[in-house]
Structures are given as C-alpha cells and as structure tokens.
Structure 1
Amino acid sequence: MTLIESRYQGQLRCLAQHGPSGTELETDAPTDNQGKGERFSPTDLVATALSTCILTIMGIVAERHGWDLTGTDAKVEKTMTSEAPRRIAQLSVWIQLPAHLDEQQRAVLMRAGEQCPVKRSLEGAVPMELHWN
C-alpha cells in the first residue's frame, strides 16, 4: 500500500505528497478547463503514468537480461472529449526502442510494455494506442 496525500491550495491548484519518499508535486487545472495550466493537470498525470509505466516495466525486463535501454523514449498524446462529461478520450503512445536491439529483444520488450500495470488498469475505460518504433 502506498499513501499519497493531496491538498487543495486554491485557484485550482493541488499539492500531492508521496508518503514513502516525501516527494511533492503540484497540479493545475488546464487552460481549457478554467485553470492556469502551469503544472501537469490530473489527466496529464494519467497520460504520464502510462508512458512512464511502459518504460519502467521494459527497464525491469531489460535489466533482468542485461540489455541497455538508457535513452529509450516514449511520447504520449492525451486527447480529451469535446462534449460532457469531460474525460480522456484517447491516449496514444509512441515508444522509440534503441536501434542496437535485435528483433527478439524488441519483441520481449514490446510484450512487457503492453502488460504494464497502468495500461492494464485503464483498459476498457480509456482507448489506448501504442506505436513501436
């Protein structure tokens, strides 16, 4: 179990603290929803969680096999619905694997990334596309 405490600070900004590490992050409402957009929005964090989870799970597998994934990139695009109720309409992720990996290594890493816990948690609720390069 991980405890994360969040506090509303006013002006559509929140401060969250990660219990185990004490690390803090702030969120803002996005500019298209009455906010300043000066920080990640809560839905931005969902998108970020997906891309970083894919990278982390691939990193775990790569380390287990002694493969170097340093510099592997993931870009995520979040699209919101244009009508109410407001929600994430689509998450698209582009993952750039290192050129030095062979086809078997790439296949192992792609399978691992596709099974990340965030993706599994969002499946059926949020449409997602993963693009592998």
Structure 2
Amino acid sequence: MTNRHMHEIITRRHPITLPPEATVQHACQEMRNHRIGAILVTDPHGRLLGIFTGRDAISRLAAEGRDPRATRLREVMTPNPECCAPHIQAIEALRLMRDGGFRHVPVVDGHRLVGVVSRGDFLSDERGRLEAESHLWERM
C-alpha cells in the first residue's frame, strides 16, 4: 500500500485555467481538447476563484437551457471549491472527494494554484483502501 503525497501526483500535468469572463463554450472546448473533466477559474494573479466541470455544464447550463456561447464561467462555476495542499497524502484527497461528492480537487500551496487531481489520478490500491474504509464505517 502506498502513502503517496499529492505533489507526486500533480507533477505530471499543469492545470488548465481560464478567467471568469471566458465563455462556457470555450471552457468545454478546452476540456475536450485536453481530455480533462474540469477547468480552474482564476483571477489575473492566478488565484483560484472557482471550478467548472462537466457536471456544471449539465446541471447549470444544459438543464437550464442557457446558451454556452453567451454564458460566462463566473455565472455557472462552483465558487470557492474545496482544495487540498500538495503535502497531504493521496488518501486524504480521496476522502475529501468522497465526502464532498465531487471528482476533482484543486491543489493549492498557500494562495498559489499548483494543480488539480481527479479520482482517476489515483492508484487502484489507494481507491481500494478508501472503499475498504467506507465499508468499515458502514458496518459500524
């Protein structure tokens, strides 16, 4: 069983960011082009403002009949998302995702955005450990 830390996972790629004024259409194109499930929304100084995911595109855009060419990320993003630090263990980030019901977590070091992780970034033994832990809590 590994005890990987977040910095080992996030070193493989840089997060894709857009400003809050970007259109949802642009964000969805970036998600498609980079084969990712989330865009981080940042201010001009690179500080995290929110996150936009495929779930947001469905629940806050398509379900409400909004035009993706005219809708800005600031209108449909999840503001102030839960984050984790790069020094925590991978299992802690997985717990955060499970408990919060989301699949992506931005990784920040102080106020500096350093990455984003998704459930798919974790090794099967880390996910297995979380499932075993969840089953244990369900039996108590």
Please indicate the TM-score interval, normalised by the length of the shorter structure: under 0.3
TM-score (norm 2): 0.26
TM-score (norm 1): 0.27
Q: Which one has a bigger Cα radius of gyration?
A: 1
Greater relative contact order: 1 or 2 (C-alpha under 8 angstroms, separation 6 or more)? 2
* Structure with the larger helix share: 2
